[in-house]
């Protein structure tokens, strides 16, 4: 059942606008020594406080920013190693009853073509993704009564049960409207990965202006959407802000406050943080001229600060960004990217001249999955489709038990090599296959003796045809 909760205008939330603005003001022109002390705390893998984050945000020299960037690079390597997790977005439907000023799917947009995948068409989309080598998806739905928890669960169940040759989707993350606790429980039953809700902007006056009508106009209902997911037993959740709606420094602070709230209430913060910038969308003037457009240099600062602020949280960089920017910010702490993406509803399985009119926005990086993997390998990254932690129950608090002592790198590198080897054997172009095998050989030699023998054995099994080998 679709539920719309009326907003209580007097309800207090954990986002205190005045407090955030006050902290940002009080930390202006920080001393270099203070910046360096905060960087050292982060490199010790400790989550930063709002005051410390604001201090970094207010760094006021190129020299200090270069030190911040370098610290972010080091921290990413310490926690995650050189692996980059890959996924693809799959838009299920673009019907929506909200009227968000910046979104191509908003109800008042007469230029968008509305479409919802049938189950058969959904299977065609999944087959098209699997035959390219994908193993991880994020499924996306507009906010509409037809996209009920039962509908969402049914689509995800069909995704998991659609197999092509050696290929299958092993993890489905969800980006959908906030649900009731009971609604989340229905979705959880089909074995989802992360449930993701972007607050869009944490600045309440801007939020109200940008969301004039529809359920999404309720700031508090959306803000506490992931609390209800956690109460329903979904312990992997993802937060995000849409940069360009309000001042970027304020939004970074909002993400930190949200992280701390989840930590304090549930003992575990978000599994991922996303930081998309507004991109143009058909029939959407606000998306073409964002009120607080974020330039490329400030975008790099956003990524670096988030990495330093929350060392154990995955950072997701999407194909909204052009490939040259993706190359740069990958080095600053990103752990997940999408690749080979298409966001027009139904656009993976067939070419569609109207794809832009079925899309939420316009993508900046349209390279194929193989092209992205080849470039990652050239830059000495390990492309990974790993889902082992999720399927072994290492999620939520259990994930942090492994992550905080630094064991993620220990688990993730072997599993990344296994999934990369699967990709190379089943889907890669000849040039990607060659460089990929060289990278695997190099990475295996870096492992300790015990790991090395186990990983070599797993890689050999994959070469002989076995699939879904896990460390």
Tell me: the pLDDT tens digits for 57-84?
999 999 999 999 999 999 999 888 899 9
* Domain presence at residue 391: no
State CA 401 to chain mean position distance: 21
The torsion of the CA quartet 14, 17, 22, 25, rounded to 10 degrees, works out to 120
Do 29 and 142 share a domain, yes or no? no
Q: Is the same domain home to 333 and 428?
A: no
Do 96 and 70 fall within a single domain?
no
At residue 285, the pLDDT reads: 96
For residue 392, being part of any structural domain is answered with no
| Partner residues linked to 175 by β-bridges | 140, 196
- Which residues, including other chains, have CB under 8 Å from residue 302's CB and lie 6 or more apart? 243, 248, 252, 275, 294
Same domain, 209 and 335: yes
Residue range 272-309, pLDDT digits in tens: 999 999 999 999 999 999 999 999 999 999 999 999 99
Q: Is 198 inside any structural domain?
A: yes
- 229: pLDDT confidence band, cut at 50, 70 and 90? very high
pLDDT at 461 over 80: yes
Its domain, for residue 24, covers 17-76
Identify the band that residue 180 occupies on the pLDDT scale cut at 50, 70 and 90: very high
CB 381 within 8 A of CB 76: no
Question: Where among 57, 76, 95 does a domain terminate?
Answer: 76
User: Both tokens of residue 240?
Assistant: 């995000």
Q: What is the pLDDT of residue 4?
A: 39
Mean pLDDT for all residues in the chain: 93
Q: Do 153 and 56 have their domain in common?
A: no
- Of 61, 76, 91, which one is at a domain's C-terminal end? 76
Q: Tokens 């975008």 map to which residue?
A: 299
pLDDT recorded at residue 407: 59
Q: Could you tell me how many helices (H) and strands (E) the chain has, helices first?
A: 20, 9
If asked whether residues 420 and 343 sit together in one domain, one would say no
Domain assignment present for 389: no
The first and second tokens of residue 86, run together, are: 């890959």
Are 386 and 423 contacting, i.e. CB atoms less than 8 angstroms apart? no
244 and 321 inside one domain: yes
Residues 47, 147 share a domain: no
Claim to verify: residue 40 and residue 160 sit in the same structural domain: no
Measuring CA to CA, how many Å separate 34 from each of 27, 30, 192? 10, 7, 42
| Residue 141 Cα distances to 196, 304, 330, 360, 401, angstroms | 11, 30, 27, 11, 32
Would residue 9 count as lying in a domain? no
Residue with tokens 């932690």: 389
177 lies in the same domain as 267: yes
Two tokens, residue 79: 């926690």
pLDDT interval class at 395 (50, 70, 90): low
349 and 206 both lie in a single domain: yes
Q: Residue 297, CB half-sphere, CA atoms under 13 Å: how many? A: 3
pLDDT, tens digit, 9 for 90 and up, residues 103-125: 999 999 999 999 999 999 999 99
For residue 450, the model assigns a pLDDT of: 84
The 10s digit of each residue's pLDDT in 196-220 is: 999 999 999 999 999 999 999 999 9
Asked whether 32 and 64 are in contact (CB, 8 A), the reply is: yes
Say if residues 262 and 272 touch (Cβ distance below 8 Å).
no
Domain count, the chain: 3
> Within this chain, do residues 67 and 108 fall inside the same structural domain, yes or no?
no
In a domain, 1, yes or no: no
CATH number at residue 215: 3.20.20.70
Q: Which residue has the tokens 């575990």?
A: 268
Strand partners, 195: 174, 237
Q: Tell me the C-alpha distance between 280 and 278, whole Å.
A: 7
Residue 458 has pLDDT above 70, yes or no: yes
Confidence of residue 137 (pLDDT cuts 50, 70, 90): very high
How far apart are alpha carbons 36 and 21 in whole angstroms? 23
Does some domain include residue 470?
no
387 closest CA partner among 176, 276, 236: 236
Check whether 399 has a pLDDT greater than 70: no
**Boundary residue ending a domain (76, 94, 121):** 76
Is residue 7 included in any domain, yes or no? no
pLDDT at residue 393, as a whole number: 59
Placement of tokens 């690079």 in the chain: 73
6, pLDDT greater than 60: no
Among the listed residues 194, 186, 273, 156, the one whose alpha carbon sits nearest the alpha carbon of residue 3: 186
């Amino acid at each position: 059942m679709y539920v719309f909760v009326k907003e209580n205008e007097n309800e207090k939330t954990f986002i205190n606008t005045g407090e955030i603005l006050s902290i940002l003001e009080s930390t202006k022109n920080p001393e270099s020594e203070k910046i360096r002390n905060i960087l050292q705390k982060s490199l010790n893998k400790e989550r930063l406080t709002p005051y410390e984050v604001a201090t970094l945000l207010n760094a006021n020299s190129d020299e200090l920013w270069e030190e911040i960037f370098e610290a972010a690079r080091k921290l990413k390597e310490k926690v995650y190693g050189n692996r980059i997790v890959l996924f693809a977005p799959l838009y299920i439907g673009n019907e929506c009853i909200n009227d968000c000023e910046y979104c191509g799917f908003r109800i008042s947009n007469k230029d968008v073509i509305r479409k919802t995948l049938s189950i058969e068409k959904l299977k065609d989309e999944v087959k098209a993704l699997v035959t390219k080598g994908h193993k991880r998806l994020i499924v996306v739905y507009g906010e509409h009564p037809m996209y009920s928890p039962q509908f969402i669960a049914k689509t995800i169940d069909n995704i998991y049960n659609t197999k092509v040759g050696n290929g299958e989707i092993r993890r489905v993350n969800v980006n959908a409207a906030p649900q009731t606790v009971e609604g989340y429980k229905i979705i959880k039953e089909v074995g989802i990965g992360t449930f993701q809700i972007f607050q869009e902007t944490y600045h309440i006056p801007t939020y109200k202006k940008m969301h004039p009508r529809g359920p999404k106009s309720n700031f508090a209902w959306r803000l506490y959407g992931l609390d209800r997911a956690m109460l329903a037993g979904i312990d992997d959740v993802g937060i995000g802000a849409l940069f360009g709606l309000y001042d970027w420094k304020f939004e970074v602070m909002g993400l930190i406050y949200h992280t701390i709230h989840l930590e304090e209430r549930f003992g575990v913060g978000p599994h991922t943080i996303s930081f998309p910038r507004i991109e143009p969308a058909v029939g959407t003037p606000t998306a073409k001229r964002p009120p607080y457009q974020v330039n490329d240099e400030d975008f790099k600062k956003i990524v670096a600060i988030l990495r330093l602020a929350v060392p154990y949280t995955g950072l997701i960089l999407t194909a909204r960004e052009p490939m040259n920017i993706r190359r740069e910010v990958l080095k600053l702490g990103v752990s997940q990217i999408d690749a080979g993406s298409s966001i027009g509803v139904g656009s993976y399985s067939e070419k569609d001249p109207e794809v832009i009119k079925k899309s939420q926005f316009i993508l900046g990086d349209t390279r194929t999955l193989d092209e992205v993997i080849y470039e990652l390998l050239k830059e000495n990254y390990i492309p990974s489709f790993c889902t082992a932690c999720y399927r072994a129950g290492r999620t939520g608090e259990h994930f942090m038990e492994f992550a905080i002592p630094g064991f993620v790198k220990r688990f993730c590198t072997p599993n990344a090599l296994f999934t990369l080897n699967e990709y190379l054997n089943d889907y890669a172009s000849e040039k990607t296959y060659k460089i990929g095998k060289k990278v695997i050989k190099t990475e295996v030699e870096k492992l300790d003796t015990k790991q090395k023998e186990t990983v070599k054995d797993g890689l050999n099994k994959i070469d002989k045809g076995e699939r879904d080998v896990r460390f």
